[in-house]
Amino acid sequence: LAKITQPISMDSYEGQEVNITCSHNNIATNDYITWYQQFPSQGPRFIIQGYKTKVTNEVASLFIPADRKSSTLSLPRVSLSDTAVYYCLVGEMGGGFKTIFGAGTRLFVKA
């Protein structure tokens, strides 16, 4: 299983772009990179998933370099409501039971 490293916490201000980097040096060929967001007192919510290069949706962008040993979740123009814990997960598409959540990155957005 890929070992995942991401910052424990980050601070930002409203309107800024936030980039959260996740390191996964021993990612396997069949592994995808998936990000979840968790607000206090709620369950995690799927944000974005990618395999290589760049993926963008209405919430975020995910940048994955060619070696796939790291990935960066980019949140454009954050607001106070983006304050949450962000989890980076690495695993096969069909590996539901093998889903492993790490400690996540606690993002705090200030006014």
Partner 1 sequence: DTAVSQTPKYLVTQMGNDKSIKCEQNLGHDTMYWYKQDSKKFLKIMFSYNNKELIINETVPNRFSPKSPDKAHLNLHINSLELGDSAVYFCASSQGTAKNIQYFGAGTRLSVL
**Residue ranges that bind partner 1, judged by CB under 8 A:** 32, 34, 41-46, 49, 85, 87, 89, 91-97, 99-101, 103-104
Mind spelling out the 3-state secondary structure of the chain?
Answer: CCCCECCCEEEEECCCCEEEEEECCCCCCCEEEEEEEECCCCCCEEEEEECCEEEECCCCEEEECCCCCEEEEEECCCCHHHCEEEEEEEEECCCHHHCCCCCCEEEEEEC
Is the Cβ of residue 77 or residue 98 nearer to partner 1 in the bound state?
98
Closest distance of CB 52 from partner 1, Å:
16
Closest distance of CB 77 from partner 1, Å:
25
Is the Cβ of residue 14 or residue 49 nearer to partner 1 in the bound state?
49
Is the Cβ of residue 94 or residue 111 nearer to partner 1 in the bound state?
94
Q: Which two tokens stand for residue 2?
A: 């890929």
Closest distance of CB 58 from partner 1, Å:
16
Q: How many residues does the chain have?
A: 111
Closest distance of CB 89 from partner 1, Å:
7
